[in-house]
């Protein structure tokens, strides 16, 4: 996969234009998270935002452009949350445990599944040209864990024989898979078990 | 969640009836795995199987009944594969490593993602009344790992302080999440990393 998706760079928008675009995106993201990508269309967006079809087309000329923007919108939220102070860049075991606690104790955080994982599962098999964007976002997410683990290593908190990339793939996979199992079982236990075991594994490298 | 889904028990079928039902299911499973649940309908099934709409309705009176049957059909294949001789009931580390090797070396095994995980991700947010069936199937799958780990424990291959249920949730989550990441990246590395790290963790309990 080389280059970006076949989506135009956003034009410069006025302040009002930016606010309109943001309003469309917020509703589109919600519709997609609730009903799925395939079931979301301009007619519904018109209904919930009150913005005309021609305006919608002005901001998002194609379904691809809308879905790419929703991926970016959700990614910004996820990456901001994961990169925020709350988790200290995941450079210690306690921050990883705090991450699990957050999901396990906030039903709203796990009830509806992962916004990006759920988008990914729907898009993977679609013919929407948004795969590069999705791959880029998941790379960035994985790198938040990898960078944290590398810092743990350089600070001597975990041993030199730990493999930060492999452990980061474990943490993000356990989260994504645990979310799927937790949705299926309507019970947070599988997510909690998977994440705690993954972090236990990181802890086996503690110096 | 109590009881079964609101789907009728299958009627007794003749041998010919069973063959027809199996043919419908095989094509339905393929259509669903390729195009998704929402995009699969009786018209396509009629086209690819040559079976009339009234016959299709005879075997599967509702979309729920068809999707439940496809879940069972896919589950039978997955549980048969996982429960088969190839992996010796997952009661030793080598069997777990053989499982990773299978996926990592067979592109056909990971290219299109997990048949059940992909179904689950689509169904979770739908209003199809098939959630109990799906939960039951994932429970059985998880139990194959848990039972294997319990045998490892009773055979003294892993320590008494290992938690087979937690480790089984880790293994299945790492597989499901690793499959999602591998589809997103179109590269088997995240799946390979996640599974190897999960098994490394089981190995830390080796007696």
CB-based burial, A163-202: b 16+ in 10 Å, e otherwise: bbbbbbbbbbbbbbbbbbbbbbbeebebbbbbbbbbbbbb
Task: Judge whether A113 and B124 are in contact, CB under 8 Å.
Answer: yes
pLDDT value for B73? 93
Contacts of A130 (CB under 8 A, 6+ apart): A5, A7, A64, A67, A68, A71, A123
- C-alpha A152/C-alpha A160 separation (Å) is 10
Q: Which residues of A touch B181 (CB under 8 A)?
A: 138, 142, 169, 172-173, 176
Q: CB contact, 8 Å: A81 with chain B?
A: no
Q: Which residues of B touch A39 (CB under 8 A)?
A: 38
The pLDDT tens digits for B81-127 are 999 888 888 999 999 999 999 999 988 888 878 889 988 988 887 77
Task: Judge whether A202 and A158 are in contact, CB under 8 Å.
Answer: yes
CA dihedral angle for residue B20, residue B23, residue B29, residue B35, rounded to 10 degrees? -110
Taking residues A182-194, what's their average pLDDT? 95
Residues A186, B1: C-beta atoms closer than 8 Å: yes
Q: Which residues of B touch A31 (CB under 8 A)?
A: none
The pLDDT tens digits for B157-186 are 999 999 999 999 999 999 999 999 999 999
- C-alpha A46/C-alpha A29 separation (Å) is 14
Taking residues A37-53, what's their average pLDDT? 91
Task: Judge whether B182 and A161 are in contact, CB under 8 Å.
Answer: no
Give the residues across from A206 on adjacent strands: A158
Q: With cut-offs at 50, 70 and 90, classify the pLDDT of residue A4.
A: very low
Q: Which residues of B touch A130 (CB under 8 A)?
A: none
User: What tokens were used for A56?
Assistant: 């919608």
CA dihedral angle for residue B160, residue B162, residue B166, residue B167, rounded to 10 degrees? -120
For an interface test with A, which of B41, B130, B169 has the most A Cβ atoms less than 10 Å from its Cβ?
B169
- C-alpha B156/C-alpha B159 separation (Å) is 7
- C-alpha B175/C-alpha B103 separation (Å) is 10
Q: CB contact, 8 Å: A23 with chain B?
A: no
The number of CA neighbours under 13 Å toward the Cβ of B163 is 11
pLDDT value for A123? 84
pLDDT value for B6? 45
Residues B169, A189: C-beta atoms closer than 8 Å: yes
CA A61 to chain B, closest CA, distance in angstroms equals 24
Count interface pairs A-B at CB distance under 8 A.
175
For an interface test with B, which of A177, A185, A205 has the most B Cβ atoms less than 10 Å from its Cβ?
A177
* pLDDT above 90: residue B12: no
Q: CB contact, 8 Å: A175 with chain B?
A: yes
Q: CB contact, 8 Å: A75 with chain B?
A: no
Q: Which residue has 């949730």 as its token pair? A: B169
* pLDDT above 80: residue A7: no
* pLDDT above 80: residue B10: no
The pLDDT tens digits for A63-110 are 999 999 999 999 999 999 999 888 888 999 999 999 999 999 988 888
What's the ipTM? 0.90
Instruction: Write down how long chain A is.
Output: 207
Taking residues A167-193, what's their average pLDDT? 96
CATH architecture observed for domain B13-61:
Orthogonal Bundle (1.10)
CATH class assigned to A11-61:
mainly alpha
Using CA coordinates, name the residue in chain A closest to B202: A201
Residues B135, A184: C-beta atoms closer than 8 Å: yes
CATH 1.10.10 location in chain B: 13-61
* pLDDT above 90: residue B51: yes
Q: Which residues of A touch B162 (CB under 8 A)?
A: none
Residues B184, A118: C-beta atoms closer than 8 Å: no
Task: Judge whether B206 and B157 are in contact, CB under 8 Å.
Answer: yes
* pLDDT above 50: residue A5: no
Q: CB contact, 8 Å: B145 with chain A?
A: no
- C-alpha A6/C-alpha A9 separation (Å) is 9
Q: Which residues of A touch B124 (CB under 8 A)?
A: 113, 118, 180, 183-184
Q: With cut-offs at 50, 70 and 90, classify the pLDDT of residue A11.
A: low
Task: Judge whether B9 and B66 are in contact, CB under 8 Å.
Answer: no
- What are phi and psi for residue A56, nearest 5 degrees? -55, -45
Residues B125, A34: C-beta atoms closer than 8 Å: yes
pLDDT value for A86? 85
The CATH number fitting domain B63-203, selected from 1.10.357.10, 3.40.50.1820, 1.10.10.60, 3.40.50.300: 1.10.357.10
CATH 1.10.357.10 location in chain B: 63-203
């Amino acid at each position: 996969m080389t280059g970006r998706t076949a989506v135009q760079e956003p034009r410069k928008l006025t302040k009002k234009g930016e606010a309109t675009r943001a309003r469309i995106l917020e509703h589109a993201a919600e519709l997609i998270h609730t009903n799925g990508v395939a079931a979301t269309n301009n007619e519904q967006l018109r209904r919930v935002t009150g913005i005309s079809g021609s305006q919608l087309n002005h901001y998002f000329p194609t379904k691809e452009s809308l879905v790419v923007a929703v991926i970016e919108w959700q990614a910004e939220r996820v990456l901001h949350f994961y990169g925020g102070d709350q988790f200290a860049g995941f450079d210690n075991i306690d921050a990883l445990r705090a991450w699990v606690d957050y999901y396990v104790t906030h039903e709203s955080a796990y009830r509806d599944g992962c916004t990006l994982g759920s988008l990914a599962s729907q898009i993977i098999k679609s013919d929407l040209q948004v795969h590069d964007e999705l791959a880029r976002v998941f790379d960035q997410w994985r790198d938040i864990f990898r960078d944290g683990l590398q810092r743990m290593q350089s600070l001597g908190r975990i041993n030199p024989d730990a493999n930060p990339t492999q452990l980061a793939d474990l943490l993000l996979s356990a989260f994504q898979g645990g979310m799927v199992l937790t949705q299926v079982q309507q019970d947070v236990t599988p997510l909690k078990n998977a994440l705690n075991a993954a972090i236990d594994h990181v802890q086996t490298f503690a110096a």
